[in-house]
Amino acid sequence: MKWLSSAIEFPPLNQANADGLLALGGDLSPERVFYAYQNGIFPWYESDQPLLWWAPDPRFVLYPDRLRISKSTKQLLKSHQFEITVNRDFKAVIEACANVKRNAQSGTWITNDMIETYCELHQRGIAKSVEVWQNKSLVGGLYGIELGDTIFCGESMFSHVSNASKIGFITFIRNSNYTLIDCQLHTDYLESLGAEHISRSQFMQYIKRETT
């Protein structure tokens, strides 16, 4: 397993282990993080670990035209219980995501350094947030990295009210022109919305079309 130097570079993706771990170390500079996404790599680690960089095979993705919406969710969308905005309060969204308690995790992977980096990427127009409001209070949201006009790499979401983040995610996707949503790793929740596995090589074909 390669330890990264100060140079903004990564080993070939086929050097990742069976779990998708590609490299360790380096830094969380906005330049390195964005370069990672442009090459099919993302950071994910807990606060007591070194920086870990991942490129899993297969990759879990969602095609917006295959989005599955249940009848109950369709009714909830029609009820207009929530107001959905984009990029109104990125910092509040990422901080809320950092504070969510998650199963099988002893701490958060959204460290203060991570928050600082993604807020800078937001200022550069690369990271986007979706906010879900109810009675003028922020009750859900999500954030991620946009690659060009067609790919959105989802990072994390939170809900303080049942279904808030789901409604935000669905509304955001339906009102976008994305052809691919990178979900990174499998979850039952995203599978229920239609996400599926594709090979890393197939995923990289989408990335290369957008970044070259």
Q: How far apart are CA 144 and CA 82, in angstroms?
A: 21
- What residue type is assigned to position 149 of the chain? D
Instruction: HSE, CB side, 13 Å, CA atoms: give it for residue 185.
Output: 12
CA count, 13 A, side-chain hemisphere, 6: 0
How far, in Å, CA of 127 to CA of 205, rounded? 22
Q: Output the pLDDT for position 211.
A: 76
Q: How far is CA 159 from CA 8, 58, 68, 101, 112, in A?
A: 35, 28, 20, 11, 20
- pLDDT for 47: 78
Tell me which residue of 79, 86, 81 sits closest to 174, measured CA to CA.
Answer: 86
Structure tokens at 110: 């959204």
Predicted pLDDT of residue 154 = 97
Asked if 91 contacts 56 with a C-beta cutoff of 8 angstroms, the reply is no
Block mean pLDDT (10 aa), the chain, length 212: 94 97 97 98 89 98 97 95 98 96 62 96 98 97 96 97 97 96 95 98 94 73
Q: Which domains does the chain have, with CATH numbers?
A: 2-56 (3.30.70.3550), 60-211 (3.40.630.70)
At residue 106, the pLDDT reads: 47
Decide if 153 contacts 37 (C-beta within 8 A).
Answer: yes
Residue with tokens 């297969």: 58
Q: What is the pLDDT of residue 108?
A: 65
pTM recorded for the entire structure: 0.94
